[in-house]
Structure 1
Amino acid sequence: MMMVFFTATDTPLYSMAWMPKSTGQYAGTCIFLILLAIVFRSLLAVRVNLASIAGAYAWKRDTHILRDKPRPGDKILPRRWSLNSALVWASMDTVLAGVSYLLMLAVMTMNVGYFLSILGGTFAGSFFVGRWTAAAGH
Structure 2
Amino acid sequence: MDMSMDGSMALTSGEMLPYLHFTPGDMLWFMGWVPDTTGAMVGTCIGLFLLALVERWIAACRAVIEAHWNQRSQIVRADRASGKLPVSTRPDPKHLSSSSSSIATAASTVTMRGAPPFILWHDLSRGIVHAVQSAIKFTLMLVVMTFQVSFIIAIVVGLGVGETLFGRYTSIAEH
Q: Same fold (TM over 0.5)?
A: yes
Taking a change above 3 Å as real, the CA distance of residues 29 and 54 of structure 1, as seen in their structure-2 partners, is: same
| 1:98 and 2:135 correspond | yes
| Residue 7 of structure 1, aligned match among 17, 22, 29 | 22
Structure 2: which 5+ residue stretches go unaligned? Answer: 1-16, 74-83, 85-110
Look up the match of 1:42: 57
1:113-138 Cα shifts (integer Å, max 9, x gaps)? 000000110111011111111389xx
Q: Distance in 1 between matches of 2:117 and 2:69?
A: 13
- TM superposition shift of 1:21: 3.1
2: CA distance, partners of 1:109 / 1:15: 12
Matches within 5 A, 1:1-138: 3-54=18-69, 79-134=116-171
Q: Secondary structure at the match of 2:60?
A: helix
Length-normalised TM-score, structure 1: 0.76
User: What is the alpha-carbon distance in structure 1 between the residues aligned to residue 157 and residue 112 of structure 2?
Assistant: 40
> Residue 57 of structure 2 aligns to which amino acid in structure 1?
S
Unaligned runs of 5+ in 1: 59-66, 68-74
Moved more, 81-90 or 126-135: 126-135
Q: Cα distance 1:5–1:83, how it changes in 2: closer, same or farther (>3 A)? A: same
TM-score (ref. length: structure 2): 0.61
Distance 1:134 1:76, change over 3 A: farther
Aligned-residue RMSD, C-alpha: 2.7
CA spacing shift, 1:118–1:76, aligned 2, 3 Å: farther
Determine what percentage of the aligned residue pairs are the same residue: 29
Equivalences, count: 121
Instruction: Write the letter of the residue equivalent to 2:160.
Output: F
Deviations 1:91-119 (A, max 9, x none): 01101100000010000000000000001
Deviations 1:45-102 (A, max 9, x none): 11122223346789xxxxxxxx8xxxxxxx9986421111111010011011000000
* Structure possessing the higher radius of gyration over alpha carbons: 2
